[in-house]
A and B are shown apart, each in its own frame.
Chain A
Amino acid sequence: MEERFLSRNFDIPNAHTLAVFEKHGGYQALKRAVTMDGDSIINEVKKSNLRGRGGAGFPCGIKWSFLPKESDVPKYLVINADEGEPGTFKDRYLMELDPHRHIEGCIIAAWALGIRYGYIFVRGEMQHAIRRLEAAVKEAYAKGYLGKNILGKGFDFDLYVHPGGGAYICGEETGLIEGLEGKSGQPRMKPPFPAVVGLFQAPTIVNNVETISAIPFIIEHGGEWFAAMGVEKNGGPKLYGVSGPIKRPGVYEARSGITVRELLEEYGGGMLDGHELKAFIPGGSSCAVLTPDKLDAVMGFETMREAGSSLGTGCVTFMDTNTCMVRVAARLAAFYHHESCGQCTPCREGTGWATKVLDAIEAGRGRPEDLDLLLDMCSNIEGNTICALGDSIAIPVRSYIQVFRSEFDAHIKQGCCPYPAWTKKRLRSSVAA
Chain B
Amino acid sequence: MPKVTVNGTEIEVDKGTTILRAAAEAGFEVPHFCYHPALSIPANCRMCLVEVEGAWKLQPACYSQVTDGMVINTKSERVVKAQKAVLEFILVNHPVDCPICDQAGECKLQDYYVAYDSQESRLRAEKVHKVKVFPIGPEVLYDGERCILCTRCVRFCEEITATNELTIVQRGDRAEIRAFPGRELDNKYSVCTADICPVGALTARDFRFKCRVWLLNSTDSVCTGCSNGCNIHLEHFRNEIQRYRPRFNPAVNDYWMCDAGRLTYKEVHTDRLLHPTNNGAELNWHAVCETVADKLKRAIDEVGSDKIALVLSPQASCEDLHLARKFASDVIKTSRFYMGGKRDGDSDDFLIKADKNPNRRGIEAVFGSTTAALPFSQLVDDIEAGTVQVVYMMDQYMPVDAATAARFVERLDKLKLFVFQAQHQGALAQKAHIALPVCSHAESEGTFVNFEGIAQGFERAFAAHGESLPHWQIFMRLAQAMGKPFSYTFIQQIRKEMFAPRPDSVASGTAEGVPVE
A→B interface (CB under 8 Å): 167, 169, 184, 189, 337-346, 348-353, 356-357, 360, 367, 373, 380, 383-386
Contacts and interface: CB of A to CB of B under 8 A. Distances in A.
Interface of B: 41-47, 49, 56-58, 60, 63, 81-82, 85-86, 88-90, 92-93, 122-126, 128, 148-149, 168, 170-175
A385 B46 contact: yes
B199 to A, nearest CB: 12
A343 B44 contact: yes
A83 B479 CA distance: 86
A340 B172 contact: yes
A189 B172 contact: no
Nearest to A347: B172
Contacts of A338: 172
Contacts of A351: 172-173
Contacts of A189: 41-43, 60, 63
Contacts of B56: 383
Contacts of B82: 380, 384
B18 to A, nearest CB: 12
A321 B343 CA distance: 83
Contact of B45 (A169, A345, A352, A380): A345
A344 B45 contact: yes
Contacts of A339: 171-172
Contacts of B92: 349-350, 352-353
Given A189-B42, A342-B172, 20 more contacts: A339-B171, A341-B171, A342-B149, A343-B44, A345-B45, A345-B86, A345-B149, A348-B175, A349-B90, A349-B92, A349-B93, A350-B92, A353-B125, A356-B125, A360-B124, A373-B122, A380-B81, A380-B82, A384-B82, A386-B43
Nearest to B49: A384
16 contacts: A189-B41, A189-B43, A340-B171, A340-B173, A341-B172, A342-B174, A343-B44, A344-B46, A345-B89, A351-B172, A352-B93, A357-B125, A360-B124, A384-B58, A384-B82, A384-B86
Contacts of B171: 167, 169, 184, 339-342
A361 to B, nearest CB: 12
Nearest to A369: B122
A342 B173 contact: yes
A64 to B, nearest CB: 25
Contacts of B170: 342
A182 to B, nearest CB: 12
Contacts of B125: 353, 356-357, 360
Residue in A337, A339, A343, A357 whose Cβ sees the most chain B Cβ within 10 Å: A343
A345 B123 contact: no
A319 B45 CA distance: 37
Given A380-B81, A380-B88, A384-B49, A344 B44 contact: yes
A404 to B, nearest CB: 22
Contacts of A352: 92-93, 128, 172-173
A348 B90 CA distance: 9
